[in-house]
């Protein structure tokens, strides 16, 4: 049985660009547009057992609010059933929720805190 030897295709050699012919290649820089991260709001929920003073202290400590702002947020939580303590990226919001829940648990309070996406 006779077999043919394989045929190797001929590839022409690459030609170096001639600077006199304007053979240079210029790449155009394109800026990439990145989207801002999705934001999440940290929401504290009202309960009938956690003292208002504790809620104010937690808001001051973990959300960096002054006494007046923390009191305003606490009253919103008390009157409306929930209040927004801050808006952050997903990871930061989750950390804030964990910190609040740990502090409430350590103090023996049933305070609840959640994070939810911000409606754009």
Partners of 18 in beta bridges: none
Residue 115 resides in a domain: yes
Mean pLDDT of the 81-89 span = 97
106: CATH: 3.30.1390.10
In this structure, what is the dihedral angle of CA atoms 101, 73, 53, 115, given to the nearest 10 degrees?
A: 0
Residue 8 resides in a domain: no
The larger pLDDT score, comparing residue 109 to residue 21, is at 109
Residue 12 resides in a domain: no
Mean pLDDT taken over the chain: 89
What's the confidence (pLDDT) of residue 14?
66
Regarding pTM above 0.85, the answer is no
Residue 105 resides in a domain: yes
**The two structure tokens encoding residue 74:** 């606490």
Domain that holds residue 100: 51-120
Residue 5 resides in a domain: no
Q: Is 43 helix (H, G, I), strand (E, B) or coil?
A: strand
Residue 104 resides in a domain: yes
Residue 113 resides in a domain: yes
Domain count along the chain? 1
Q: Are 17 and 25 in contact (CB under 8 A)?
A: yes
Residue 109 resides in a domain: yes
């Amino acid at each position: 049985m006779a077999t043919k030897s394989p045929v190797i295709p001929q590839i022409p050699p690459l030609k170096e660009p001639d600077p006199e012919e304007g053979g240079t290649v210029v790449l155009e820089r394109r800026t990439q547009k990145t989207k801002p991260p999705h934001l999440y709001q940290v929401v504290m929920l009202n309960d009938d057992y956690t003292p208002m003073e504790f809620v104010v202290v937690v808001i001051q400590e973990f959300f960096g609010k002054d006494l007046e702002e923390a009191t305003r947020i606490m009253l919103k939580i008390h009157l409306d059933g929930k209040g927004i303590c801050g808006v952050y990226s997903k990871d930061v919001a989750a950390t804030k929720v964990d910190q609040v829940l740990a502090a409430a648990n350590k103090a023996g309070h049933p305070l609840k805190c959640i994070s939810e996406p911000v409606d754009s």
